[in-house]
Amino acid sequence: MTDTPHFPLSAVVGADDLKLALCLAAIDPKIGGVLIEGPRGMAKSTLARGLADLLASGQFVTLPLGATEERLVGTLDLDAALGEGRAQFSPGVLAKADGGVLYVDEVNLLPDHLVDLLLDVAASGTNLIERDGISHRHSARFVLIGTMNPEEGELRPQLLDRFGFNVALTGQTLPAERGQIIRRRLDFDSDPAGFCAQWAEPQAALRERCTQARAQLDRIELDDQALAQITERCFAAGVDGLRADLVWLRGARAHAAWRGASAIAEQDIEAVAEFALRHRRQEQAPPASPPSEGQSPEASNTSPAQGQGQWGDMPAAALPTGARRDVPSWPKKP
């Protein structure tokens, strides 16, 4: 049976920050997943499903809100136990998500112990089950995507911190962009296969870019100079613990790989700063860096990466056709 087509990530209008965060998490799953905050109707699940297509397995697994711990981690196969008298492992959601995307809608409404367990496995890449007379270990490497509407309840700070990136979406979309979103959704609903075929080329380019970035990742050094900048800014932001430093450094390296670069640059550090700090920054934190002599406070808060677009300083020959450096460079309508 043919899989139902999913809306291509390359065809999603706007949400450039979120699309970048998702791609970086796919390039390096050790970043620890992405928590998306925002109201309903912001295409959060559409974006997560589109991300699955950029991974080798294309696997997309949803954790139901009412799932039990057994459903999540796996348990004893009762048929084998009762019928054959032997202990056999029955895979859970974590095993099915291996190599793909694990999507958790309304993660703030899940029991805390399940969220804690989920984040533990996401960080280690391994699920270990020792219960009901069985001991089993299996790979569970996936990109964790959690969504929540803060109006429906907060996630405990200890759990919030354990998500690598945090991106917030707002319900305010400009009229022209809203119209474009609706038009593409109507086109997809009327002919999903035809719409996906129309976007096949930009989707393939995006998939190839992520594949090349993953191959490049380990060749980029997590250097001391980048780490020094990050640790200073984490200290200035008043974050607790050291997870922000590690996630930020990994994210900067993934962004360098995304650009096709061979080393982490300042623009890579800036590109992921808000992803790593948004849910960890203390409200009364001092400014990250004071303005230099003769520089206005407003100028000192301007990111060096602003105006470069998401392709950064990638060589022109490596840019997808029509991509510009001065605008967000997600594929346009064919």
Q: Which domains does the chain have, with CATH numbers?
A: 9-170+179-184 (3.40.50.300), 218-288 (1.10.8.80)
Q: How confident is the model at residue 186 (pLDDT cuts 50, 70, 90)?
A: very high
Q: How far apart are CA 21 and CA 90, in angstroms?
A: 33
Q: What percent of the chain has pLDDT over 90?
A: 40
pTM over 0.75: yes
Q: Tens digit of pLDDT for each residue in 78-121?
A: 555 555 555 667 788 999 999 889 999 888 888 888 888 888 88
Q: How confident is the model at residue 334 (pLDDT cuts 50, 70, 90)?
A: low
> What pLDDT is attached to residue 324?
34
Tokens 């920054």 correspond to 281
DSSP per residue, 238-304: T--SSHHHHHHHHHHHHHHHHHT-SS--HHHHHHTHHHHHTTT--TTPPPSSPPPTT--HHHHTS-T
Residue 92 Cα distances to 53, 64, 118, 126, 201, angstroms? 22, 12, 12, 13, 35
User: 35 with 143: CB under 8 angstroms?
Assistant: no
Q: What is the phi/psi pair of residue 165, to 5°? A: -115, 155
User: 328 with 16: CB under 8 angstroms?
Assistant: yes
B/e letters for 193-206, b = 16+ CB within 10 Å, e = fewer, are: eebbebbeebbeeb
Residues 6+ apart with CB under 8 A from 218: none
- 49, 207, 243, 281: which one is catalytic? 243
Q: Tens digit of pLDDT for each residue in 113-136?
A: 888 888 888 888 898 887 766 678
Helix/strand/coil for 52? helix
Q: How far apart are CA 214 and CA 209, in angstroms?
A: 9
Residue 155 Cα distances to 115, 116, 239, angstroms? 10, 11, 17
158 or 289, greater pLDDT: 158
Report the chain's mean pLDDT, rounded to a whole number: 81
Q: How far apart are CA 206 and CA 46, in angstroms?
A: 16
Tokens 């809306």 correspond to 7
**Residue 219 among the catalytic residues:** no
> What pLDDT is attached to residue 234?
95
Query: What's 5's DSSP letter?
Result: P
Helix/strand/coil for 166? strand
Residues 6+ apart with CB under 8 A from 183: none
**DSSP H or E segment with residue 102:** strand 101-104
Q: How confident is the model at residue 157 (pLDDT cuts 50, 70, 90)?
A: confident
Q: CA angle, corner 158, sides to 155 and 163, nearest 5?
A: 75
Q: How many helices (H) and strands (E) does the chain have?
A: 15, 9
Residues 6+ apart with CB under 8 A from 6: 46, 49, 50, 52, 53, 60, 196
Q: How far apart are CA 223 and CA 142, in angstroms?
A: 26
